[in-house]
Each structure stands twice: as structure tokens, then as C-alpha cells.
Amino acid sequence: MLQVEDGNISLDPIFKRNFRLALVGGGNHHSFGVPVDTSEDKKKVTITHLDNYATSQFDCILHYMVEPTGPRQPNQGVKILLATSGLMNKQGSKGSPPKITQTGFSFILQEGNAQIWVLLIQYLEMCETLAMEKTDVLHFLLMLGSLELGQAYSTATLTETQIKVLADLRDYGVVYQRKSTPDRFYPTRLATTLTSGATGMRTAAAPSSHALTAVSGTTPAEPSPEDQGFIVIETNYRLYAYTNSPLSIAILDLFCRLGYRFPNLVTAKLTRGSIQRAIGNGITADQIIDYLKSHAAPVMRKNALVLPPTVVDQIRLWQLEGERMNITPGFLFKDFATAWDFEDTARYADEFGLLKWKDSRKRLMFVTHTDQIVDYLTRRDKQMSQGAR
């Protein structure tokens, strides 16, 4: 309620007090969490530890997407989320591992803050199936975005739903909890940048060995030269990746034929088979080109064209090769007794849209269905036999 006196506008005292509490997180609302004093803790949880934990957990998710049969697997809840969001697709026979989709590969190319929001939005969509109140979950996520990196917060004021969300967010690397102190949690950089324009984590180009570290307050460390680009491509389609990151190597394995691996170098080659295998899994030629371009080494960026034109053109040509052939299931008719028999049958099949191909000289035709044609031939032969009588 507004009160106007002598041209001055003032808020109602009760509304003003509650509004101030909401802004500063005071009272019983705890809009910005309840900090916990950790000054007497023998083992401190440092920002470096939180960054390493967030990177490790999120790398596990990304690595599973590009290598589902890898040794390190995320929790079942994460796998269900990836499948529900369309980032992974269950294909093949029963028991076969899922495959990354075209949407999933685009997800891999995004920066960390965008990636975590994709997962959290899908998590919100699943709230009803998980028997959780969506507004309660959203309130908790927005609260995480306003917390301080490195500060511990109490779980005593969280609702039952938010406690469940907290357990799931641990799997994503958004929050960290010690088993010895379950009454508190620590937001990681993925959480504190949810509501800001800052990048919470490095992209898939940065290796796991270069996890984010804090140099002053909540500012991430300067990116290493490897984080700025690590791929060198030659005109003969040979590729050199200066990285020791299992995640980066697994991504390259999606569309390259890997060669030798050294402590900080992997050799590979772009081949017709590797590109068409990637395209068969839903990855497009433009996505491959964009990945190579965005992760090219600084020496490649000195050129007017980052990637060799011959390589770019060949990747697109390999994609076009697969698009030239369309598979249509059907049936081949042959051994017609007379030319009239063949032409009459072909005419009937063409009228009903069943005819896909014919060769009048060899009396061959290819149709999509046979039931209608068999019925027609049966009726025709019956009518001809009755007319002959």
C-alpha cells in the first residue's frame, strides 16, 4: 500500500519491513540461505576443492554422453535426465548402450553455464513425475544463484522437496556436501553463476587436468594456452590434438579415426568412414566443422581461414554422399509371362502409388506393398477365366 503525503510517496510500514527482509534475506524467509560458521573446522573446504569437484562431476556427465560404455558412470538419475531431454537416444537391440544425439552434440559445444541450465530446465519439467512442487524447486535454484562461493550454508531451513533437489544437484556438481557434515552444503561455481552472465565452467575444450581455480575471491584462474585451442589440422586430413583430457579425446573419437597417443598429444585423421559414422549417429558436418574451428590452436587462428578449405569441403562432401542414397523397403516382381501382363500390373501399381521403379525391357518392377497387387491379379485372372468360358 502506498501513502502519499505532501507529494512524497512512502510504503506501508509492514510492507516496507517485509520487503527489506526479502531483499537482505533476513527474518524467517532465509531468501539467501543461512550461512554456517566454519572457522573452527579442522579441514577447510577451499574454493579450489569446490571447482575441482564441480569439474569432475560435470566431466563425468559429458564423458558418459560421448562414451556411454566408459569406466566412470553417472548416477541413474542423471542417465534418465539425459534420455528424457533428448541428449541421449536409446537405439539398437535391448541392452545396447545409448548414443549421443544431434541435440546432445550441440549441448557438448556449449559453455558450462548454458549446459547446466539445459539440465536444470529439464529437471524442472520432470518435477511432477518426481512428486515435487515446481515452484519450490525453482525457488531453491534461484536461491543458489545468490549464494557466495566458498561459504557453507545450513540445510535446516530447507523443505523436504529442497532436500531431495540438493541430493540430485550433487550429481551435477552444482553443490558439494561432506558425508561427515550432512547438515550443511557448499554451492560450487556452477551454482553461484546461475543467475549471472559469467561463465561458470570451461567448455569441453579444456582438459580435466586444468580444473578451474580461484586466484582472488570468486574469479576463475586465467585460461591456459591449451584452453584457448588445442587442435591442429593439415590439408591431408591429419589432426593433432595437444591435450591429455579423456573427455576431449572421447569427443574427437566421435568423428575421427584416432591414431597414436602420447602424454600431451593425440594424433588422428578425418576419414570418410569416421565422418559418415558420426553423421549416422546424428552429428552434422556443420557441427563437426564448428567444433574444429572453435577449438583450433592459436597457430591455426593466424590464418585468414582457420581450417583448410579442402578439409571443410571434403567433410561436407562426405555428408552429401550419405544423402544420395535413400533406402525404401519393398518387393521385386519379375518373371511376367507377357509384356501386356507386366504393363497392366505396373499401371495398377502406379495408380495406387505403390510403384517405385520398373524396367519394361527386363519386365521387372519394385513396389512398396504386395497385398493390393495380389488381390488385383487374383480378380483379373478370375475375370479372364470366366470370360474365356
Residues 59 and 208 grouped into a single domain = yes
Which residue type, as a one-letter code, is found at position 220?
A: P
Q: Do both 205 and 249 map to the same domain? A: no
Q: Is residue 190 part of a domain?
A: yes
pLDDT tens by residue, 256-274: 999 999 988 999 999 999 9
Q: Are residues 199 and 82 in the same domain?
A: yes
pTM (2 d.p.): 0.65
- Domains of the chain: total: 4
Phi, psi (degrees; rounded to nearest 5) at 368: -85, -30
C-alpha cell at 164: 531431495
* Domain identity same for 84 and 140: yes
113, 193 contact by CB (below 8 A): yes
Report the pLDDT value the prediction gives residue 262, as an integer from 0 to 100.
Answer: 92
Q: In angstroms, rounded to a whole number, what is the distance separating the alpha carbons of residues 355 and 204?
A: 49
Say whether both 119 and 236 belong to one domain: no
Of 281 and 319, more confident = 319
Residue ranges making up the domain that contains 312 = 229-323
pLDDT band at 294 (very low <50, low <70, confident <90, very high): confident
3-state secondary structure of 315: helix
Q: Do 211 and 281 share a domain, yes or no?
A: no
- 142-159 pLDDT, tens digit per residue, is 888 888 888 989 988 888
- Determine how many CB atoms are found less than 10 A away from the CB of residue 228: 14
Among candidate residues 288, 323, 358, the one where a domain is terminated: 323
Q: Look up residue 221 and give its DSSP letter.
A: P
The pLDDT of residue 295 is above 60 = yes
Q: Is residue 32 part of a domain?
A: no
Q: Which helix (H) or strand (E) holds 47?
A: helix 47-66
